[in-house]
Amino acid sequence: MTYAETAKLASALSVNDLVRAIADPGGLSRVYGDGTTSTKLPSVKTITQITAVDGAFGGTGSSVNGQLQLTLTPATTDLVNASSPLQPRVSQQAVVITATG
C-alpha cells in the first residue's frame, strides 16, 4: 500500500476525498481499488443531503439525520466504471475510509 488511510464519518467527507471503503450501519459495505495505489480509487464529486419531505427524519420536512447521496468519480484506471459515476446512498453515521498520498 502506497497511501495512508483515515476513517471518517460520511457527514465529514469533502469533495475530492479518495474513497477506499464504505461501511454503513444501514447495510451498505463496499471496498474500492485493490489496496496497492490511490490512483485506483474513486474520488468524491458531490455530497447531497436527502431531504425528507414527509418529516420521516424527526421533523416536518427537515433533513435532520437524513441520508447522504454521494457521487463518486471513478478512477481513470477503473475500466469497469469509468463511464458512469458511482452513487451510493449512506447514512450520516456511515464510516468511510479515505486515502491520501
Q: Kindly report the pTM of this predicted structure.
A: 0.82
pLDDT at 60: 55
Burial class of 23 by CB neighbour count within 10 A (0 to 12, 13 to 18, 19+):
middle
Q: Chain-wide mean pLDDT for the chain?
A: 84
DSSP state of 23: E
Domains: count for the chain:
1
Q: Which amino acid is at 90?
A: V
Query: Which range of residues forms the domain containing residue 65?
Result: 4-100
Flag whether pLDDT at 45 surpasses 80. Answer: yes
pLDDT tens digits, one per residue of 49-88: 887 665 555 555 555 567 899 999 998 888 887 778 899 9
Q: b/e string for 25-45 if b means 16 or more Cβ within 10 A?
A: eeeeeeebbeeeebebbbbbe
Tell me the Cα Rg of the chain: 14
Looking at per-residue confidence, does 9 or 55 come out higher?
A: 9
Alpha helices in 16-78 (DSSP H): none
